[in-house]
Amino acid sequence: MSRLLAVGCLLAILAAQAPARGDTGASGRIALVVGRHSIVDAVSQDTLRDVYLRRQLLWPAGIRAIPVNLPAGNPIRERFSRIVLGRSTRELVSYWNARYFEGIMPPAVLPSAAAIRAYINAEPGAIAYLASEDVDETCRTLLWLDAGQP
């Protein structure tokens, strides 16, 4: 309970800070990150697609998989959506509407890279993506997505 309160307070502070970068950074790379103590050691692009489309709800260890998104319209999110999910955020609206009727909701959204870093370090089943410049020592990078990918 105290952990949740601490995370809630931290997120409230971080949400007021600057939003995530509006581009993929100088290198154009997107990092798939988890917290330092995450139970997730490796992830493939295929697994990412299943987790972010909520087709895979569990990690192999039996812990719930919790994907995290940046807000709709964020260029990093749009690029991630195109590369990994094969469709834009707008094109996925009908997909998520269909999943609504199974009681399955889209990934949670956090407003900034700082909020994402705080959350993935509090939640061992969480996974997120960040611009390379937003990755710091609090994150563990599992995969890089390059600008040249489709």
Partner 1 sequence: MLIASARPAGATDAVEDPGSRLMQVENGGYSVPKLPIWLGGDLTVQGTVPQSGHAKLELDDINLLVRYEPLPRLSFFSETRLENTVTITDGKGPELDSSDIFIERLYLDWLATPHLTIRLGKFLTPFGVWNQIRRAPLTWTVERPLVTENTFPEHTTGIGLIYQATLHGWSIDGTLYGPAQDALPLRSSTESGVTLVGSRIAAAHQIGDAYLTVGVSGGGAERRQHAGLQPMAGADINLSWAGNDLLGEFAYARSPEPFVDDDWGLYLQDSYPLFDSFYAVARYEHFRGFDTGSVDAGLLGFAWRLDPHFIIKANYQLTTKSSEDLPRGFLCSFALFF
Per CB under 8 A, residues contacting partner 1 are: 4, 7-8, 10-12, 15, 45-47, 49-50, 53, 55-60, 62-66, 68-69, 71-73, 86-87, 89, 91-94, 96-111, 119, 122-123, 150
Closer residue to partner 1 in complex, CB, 27/90 = 90
Q: How far is CA 64 from the centre of its chain?
A: 14
Least distance between partner 1 and beta carbon 25 (Å): 22
Least distance between partner 1 and beta carbon 146 (Å): 16
Instruction: For residues 28 and 120, give the distance between their C-alpha atoms in angstroms, rounded to a whole number.
Output: 22
Closer residue to partner 1 in complex, CB, 95/133 = 95
Closer residue to partner 1 in complex, CB, 33/110 = 110
Q: Is 43 left (phi over 0), alpha (psi -120 to 50) or beta?
A: beta
Closer residue to partner 1 in complex, CB, 66/113 = 66
Least distance between partner 1 and beta carbon 79 (Å): 14
Instruction: For residues 133 and 145, give the distance between their C-alpha atoms in angstroms, rounded to a whole number.
Output: 13
Amino acid symbol at 75: P
Q: Which residues contact 146 (CB under 8 A, 6 or more apart)?
A: 28, 29
Least distance between partner 1 and beta carbon 56 (Å): 5
Instruction: For residues 103 and 133, give the distance between their C-alpha atoms in angstroms, rounded to a whole number.
Output: 36
